[in-house]
Chain A
Amino acid sequence: MDALTAAGATAVGCLVGMATGLVPGLHVNTLCAVGLSLAPGMGPTLAVGLCAMAVAHGFASHLPSTYLGAPGEDTLLSAMPAHRMLLAGKGLDAVQVSLDGALAGLVLAVALLLPYKWVLGEPGGLLDALDGLMAWVLATVLVFLLARETRRGLRSFLWAVVVLALAAILGLVAGRIEVAALVPVPASALLPLLSGLFGAPALLETLRSHPEVPPQEPARPPPTAVRRRCRRGIVSGVLAAAMTSVLPGMTSAIAATAARAGASDRAEHDPRPVLATLGAIGLAQVVLAFGVLWLSLRARSGLAAAVQQVWAAEAWTLGAPPVALRWLLVAALGSGVVAHLGVAAMAGPVALWMGRASPRWLSASALAIVVALVALLSGLPGLAIFVTATAVGLVPAATGTSRIHLTGCLLVPVLFYRLGWA
């Protein structure tokens, strides 16, 4: 691959990612599947393009995730940090701190890739050690998630168990349902499952509760103390992403929980450190999943699996990263810088437009797009999974339970697979 081809693929991928990131509910795994089916013979050029697209998508997706799905007053306490800031007129601050966290996480993850290799591969040998203990590690994560709820009382703990069990059963069932796209791309039950559990409930909540979104204030730099907590959050986010990138079934929500495990209650009053942590985790996971792919030849993300199909990965055992990995890192950094600037520039006009548009109309449109995507990419069985997952996804909001327990839909099936039960 020559530099010009790589630059062209990065530019195209970046532009596509910035556009697709604005579409609510459109996951980067779906885009990779579409990319593979549209241009199967493009090999490394496609891999670089997909990498740039995934990174830019990660940046742009902070706009819909901040501006859509805000809850009403009665469920404000269970609102996501970005929605809390939106309802306080600080949506632009939320987007900016998320973007800054994402860029810092991306750069830090690239910088840490070599030490990461030393820990996972030679001489650390953590990958081999983890392989034999994977079932125990996953079980420990599940226990950790439930144990956190005991702080909020027995009732919260029991609701958490119910939500986790429902999500787990749904994950096990959905994995056995035959889904087929209406267009010739690989179908996956994950799209309706995750869109239903995590995407649709927030949009339905906006439709139900008529949130009052105030005019948004211009973005201001956070105070020094908050900036310091943001920096700490980014570092802990990247470290948490490094831990969870090795394990199957781990989402960024679990990484965020791990990263915030030691955070003080004082920090919770200002959501910006949480947003910076979340932003850093999302982008760090993109880079670190490549590291795991080249070290273990196992894909731990949809993007890594797509890249593996078009660019044969050879084990990274000694010295500097392999050439293919270096190209992907350069594409990720290039696309990240451009997407950071581009999305930051878009945030102002989007906030102005949001001030004029009705949140209910926006949420209804977003929900219609998600339903259409699910129908197109996973057919009628996918819609059945989506409806069921949406019902399960509404349980945390109705019971005041953390949505993190919905990740049981991935964790438990992977644990069962590791134990040979599924």
Chain B
Amino acid sequence: MLPPRPVLASAILLVGGLAWSLGSSPPPVASLADAALWEGQSVTLEGWVSDVRPAADGTRFTLVDGAHSVAVRIAAAGADAIADGPALSTGDRVQASGRLSRWQGQLRLDAEDARDVKTVASASASAGATTLAEVAADPAAWQGRPVVVRGHVEKGRLADGAHSVAVGGGAWPAEGVVQARGLLRWDGHCLCHRFDAREVRPWTP
């Protein structure tokens, strides 16, 4: 037989040491593209906030970055604290920390508290100017990311030369040249990307 006391003492010492080594080390930061590699672990993911909605079991939103996305849930108790902190809005760049698991086949990050979601840049501050040509070349890469684009609105589309995108929500004029700040999103009804505008104003070239 192995001697019980030394074996037990070693086990307690090693478990204690392992627990102590955890300390308050923050979870590692991973890109949304690599999120699947961290399934089952605590991790911090950075991306653009999309589709914010309250739910019975907390607040839910989707983190998107290019073609990659991960659902985030802030537990109901933690979500109450959101009222005290900065409100999340679509297009914010945030870092969300929590345990990454798979729910009905999709990755989901469970944040315990609203403090686990930190805003890196607000939607208005992080909106970058780009051209419709760039957006149209690879719309999936621009999905959920706040941008400022210019073009001509006609027949429900925002066009710039040979490139165009369907217009979505926002105060779009029926026709005219505009500068719009907003987000590109995938619309399952038209199987196309739509541009939801936060702000649309007339623009003179």
Contact = CB atoms under 8 A, between A and B. Distances in A.
Contacts of B3: 398
A398 B2 contact: yes
B28 A394 contact: no
Contacts of A392: 11, 14-15
B16 to A, nearest CB: 9
Nearest to A36: B36
Contacts of A130: none
A174 B17 CA distance: 12
Contacts of A313: 105
A132 to B, nearest CB: 14
Given A189-B41, A309-B105, A385 B7 contact: no
B26 to A, nearest CB: 10
Interface in A305-322: 305, 308-309, 312-313
B7 A298 contact: no
A384 B12 CA distance: 14
Given A169-B19, A385-B18, A297 B28 contact: no
Contact of A178 (B1, B14, B15, B41): B41
A387 B102 CA distance: 29
Contacts of A181: 37
Contacts of B102: 299, 305, 308-309
A184 B36 CA distance: 11
A75 B105 CA distance: 45
Contacts of A189: 40-41
Interface in A163-202: 166, 169-170, 173-181, 184-190
Of the candidates B10, B15, B103, B104, the one having the most CB atoms from chain A within 10 angstroms of its own CB is B15
Contact of A388 (B4, B15, B36): B15
Contacts of A173: 15, 18-19, 22
Contacts of B160: none
Contacts of A388: 11, 14-15, 17-18
Of the candidates A169, A178, A385, the one having the most CB atoms from chain B within 10 angstroms of its own CB is A178
B27 A178 contact: yes
A170 B28 CA distance: 21
A81 B11 CA distance: 26
Interface residues of A, number: 44
B191 interface: no
A167 B201 CA distance: 63
A188 B42 CA distance: 11
Nearest to A394: B7
A344 interface: no
A180 B103 CA distance: 22
Contacts of A139: none
Interface in B22-75: 22, 25, 27-28, 36-43, 75
B120 to A, nearest CB: 21
A179 B37 contact: no
Contacts of A178: 25, 27-28, 41-43
Contacts of B39: 186, 188
Contacts of A420: 75, 77
B18 A177 contact: yes
A308 B39 CA distance: 14
B190 interface: no
B105 A399 contact: no
B83 interface: no
B2 A184 contact: no
Given A309-B105, A312-B105, A398-B1, A391 B10 contact: yes
A399 B11 CA distance: 13
Interface in A353-405: 384-385, 387-388, 391-392, 394-395, 397-400
B27 A398 contact: no
A297 B18 contact: no
Contacts of A184: 37
Contact of A170 (B10, B18, B38, B75): B18
A74 B3 CA distance: 12
A324 B3 CA distance: 53
Nearest to A78: B1
Contact of B104 (A175, A298, A395, A399): A298
Contacts of A308: 102, 105
A142 interface: no
A226 interface: no
Given A173-B15, A398-B8, 15 more contacts: A74-B1, A166-B12, A173-B19, A176-B22, A178-B27, A178-B43, A181-B37, A185-B37, A188-B40, A309-B105, A384-B18, A388-B18, A391-B15, A398-B2, A399-B7
25 contacts: A166-B11, A166-B12, A166-B15, A169-B15, A170-B15, A170-B18, A173-B22, A176-B22, A177-B22, A178-B43, A181-B37, A298-B104, A305-B102, A308-B105, A309-B105, A312-B105, A384-B18, A388-B11, A388-B18, A391-B15, A392-B11, A395-B4, A395-B11, A399-B7, A420-B77
Interface pairs A-B: 10 shortest CB-CB: A398-B2, A388-B14, A398-B7, A391-B11, A398-B4, A297-B104, A392-B11, A308-B105, A173-B19, A391-B14
